[in-house]
Chains A and B, each alone.
Chain A
Amino acid sequence: MTMAPVEAPPSPPREDKRWRQVDVKIRRLGARPDGLIEVLHTVQEVFGFLDDDALGYVSEALGVPPSRVLGVATFYSHFVRKPQGLHTCVVCMGTACYINGASAIFERLHGTLGIDAGGTTPDGRVSLLRARCLGACSMAPAVVVDDEVHGRMSPDGVEQMLEAL
């Protein structure tokens, strides 16, 4: 979890047009330091993850020390520092899902994909994640594949769904 020293930070890949979306967000928030989490959300939405360049840029744009930006980016579990797979599969491990067999679903995916929670398959196809609770308890066990919630899942069901992606 190292961050490049920011001796010459002003230009991350600024020619990348996607930065404009981030700049719009920063302007809308008045470039105030308390907008840090909101801006990091936007960066992650646009680029998929938060790399050192992005953190350095946000640090300067908001006038927040790099240490604090890194601190925030690593404190919150929603923020990821590595590129994610083409597809994401989130297994909910909330109480209702847990007592209804979420562990079996996770173990199966862990086995077939060969990755741990937070990992991505070597071909970059699927990232496997665990969620604390998605609030989809009435449909336990729940799995979210590419932002779509699927309720009452089974290990077989999720496996088939991932194969069909």
Chain B
Amino acid sequence: MTETGGATPARRRRQEPLIPDGPVRASANVCQAAGCLSMQSDAVFDSLCERVAASGLTDVAVRRVGCLGLCAAGPLVAVPERERLFDHVTAGDDASLDAVVTSLSGGEGGRPIASDPFFSHQVKVVLEHCGRIDPERVEDYVAEGGYEALTKVVTTMTPAEVLAEVTHSGLRGRGGGGYPTGLKWTTVAKAESADGKYVVCNGDEGDPGAFMDRSVLESSPQQVLEGMAIAGYAVGAAHGYVYVRAEYPLAVKRLTTAIRQAERAGLLGQRIADSSFSFEVQLRIGAGAFVCGEETALIASIEGGRGTPRPRPPYPAASGLWGKPTLINNVETFSSIAAIINRGAAWYQAIGTGRSRGTKVFALAGSVVNTGLIEVPLGLTLREIVFDIGGGLPGGGRFKAVQTGGPSGGCMPEELLDMQVSYESLAEAGSIMGSGGMIVMDQGTCMVDVAKFFMDFCREESCGKCVPCRVGTTQMHGLLDRITRGLASREDLAELEDLAAMVRETSLCGLGQGAPNPVFSTLRYFRDEYLAHIDDRVCPAGVCKIEPVEAGARVAEGVR
């Protein structure tokens, strides 16, 4: 990173993107999402600007863009006109920078995007603009057709027509629950309220291993705001809140900029597109509580209180924020709306499988070559996702499981690799769609340890309001800990299963109800690993530290 001269380390002026006045022959889109930024892609942007300026090329652009998807190979630069991607571009590596400039001036080089299996299996709806626009320039979004859907809605459609379109699209809640979006919108639209309704965007993406919402908010924040405004029109709300977790400072910054720019451009605020519809959006920042992803807890948090859930009904659609009818959808759900309005429900409906229509964004991570952000039509198999798009496991590692759905999800074993990914199939297999984290695990991962990891998470994130979750998760964690230390008996295992069923049935909210899922799914598919820890006092993956038998309480207990 370069510093300007001067005695004091003055803050360097931010380099403006290079955008020629005339037609653009080619553009270098430099990824500025959190992943690439942590590998100094901001310096790559500066260096490319310098090089392009020095090269005398006057008809090429250098832009900052959002996530290009293939985070594993960052920092990334795309040249969309040539359909090429350049990976591992660094400011200190002249050859990597030269390759981009060569491509800009019409030369060869780079990875062909169209034929790369990482990209060719994807269908981009939510991520349509990710990596194509500067997230901090509303004009970029508008140039790509942004806010056309909102304008169309407020000038030519009735709220009932919007509701019908969203209902017919078959879109379901992308935060994990999978509740039909059109039905939820219609319920809020029908709710009577003399003094207002609210639209809330849930960006409290707390599942460990999930970064879809972060990437969307960092890459195309206007798209989220447009979806919220369309929702506001459809349900009759004039106020919206976006709730983003504090762990995502870059998303917060870009969203703040996006709201300000949209208001200035007249795309949000009073009388949008000269219609009678007004919609304003406020940002609320979380403070590190996983449970706030639950909708009633999130509402309590926006109201400034402790984020604890309350029993439903009444559902937020009837009584939500400040007791008013409230529509709560996830970032990805709102991001799908503009495309559905622009291209029609039938187009969206044609993508997908069974009752799972459209596309889903997944965050691929763990033991997989191509870690990153992907969007696929629902109905692709796990094998296609992990091996074709993900490129398989690195270093010849052998696949063991893929974990979906975070702490409320489950681990899918090798025999399920050919399962189509849909809300129904994942539920049937003992997991959930969840928000979209997909963690690939190799043979070096102990499934009991994974179950313990998630239980530790739930135990610490339990808000403490209901007993089954507060006490149950701690007890289950204790039992799992005994198993991983080689101190457990078969009776402990039976107790674990009883307790898991009880916590699932009796907890107040999704956190507690879902907490036993990792235990259930690992027991269902990897029971022999549990038994190896218990009967043989061996961790087959070699992860757990089995305690010496003398120190073990199990002998004293006389079990087995």
Residues of A bordering B, CB below 8 Å:
33-38, 40-41, 64, 68, 71-72, 75-79, 93-96, 98-100, 131-140, 142, 147-151
Contact = CB atoms under 8 A, between A and B. Distances in A.
5 contacts: A79-B288, A94-B208, A137-B363, A137-B366, A138-B372
Interface string B439-464: 10100010000100110010001010
Contacts of B463: 75
Interface in B194-228: 205-211, 214
A151 B211 contact: no
Contacts of A149: 34, 37-38
A152 B394 CA distance: 14
Interface string B283-310: 0111111100000000001111111000
A76 B307 contact: yes
B316 interface: no
A131 B287 contact: no
B205 A76 contact: no
A126 B363 CA distance: 32
Contacts of A132: 206, 208, 247, 288, 290, 457, 461
A135 B210 contact: yes
Contacts of B288: 76-79, 132
Nearest to A75: B306
A133 B450 CA distance: 15
B72 interface: yes
A135 B301 contact: no
Given A71-B305, A137-B208, 12 more contacts: A78-B246, A95-B209, A99-B445, A132-B208, A132-B247, A135-B34, A135-B210, A135-B211, A135-B248, A137-B439, A140-B365, A151-B35
A160 B288 CA distance: 29
Nearest to A39: B304
A56 to B, nearest CB: 17
B326 to A, nearest CB: 14
B71 interface: yes
A133 B285 CA distance: 16
Contacts of A71: 305-306
B287 A79 contact: yes
B367 interface: yes
B304 A95 contact: no
Contacts of B445: 99
Given A94-B208, A96-B439, A99-B366, A41 B285 contact: yes
B39 interface: yes
A57 to B, nearest CB: 16
A64 B305 CA distance: 10
The 3 A-B residue pairs with the shortest CB-CB distance in the complex, in nearest-first order: A138-B71, A76-B287, A78-B288
Interface in B360-380: 363-367, 371-373
A153 to B, nearest CB: 11
A75 B289 contact: yes
A34 B246 contact: no
A95 B285 contact: no
A140 B287 contact: no
Contacts of A77: 287-289
A23 B206 CA distance: 31
A164 to B, nearest CB: 16
B302 A100 contact: no
Nearest to B251: A135
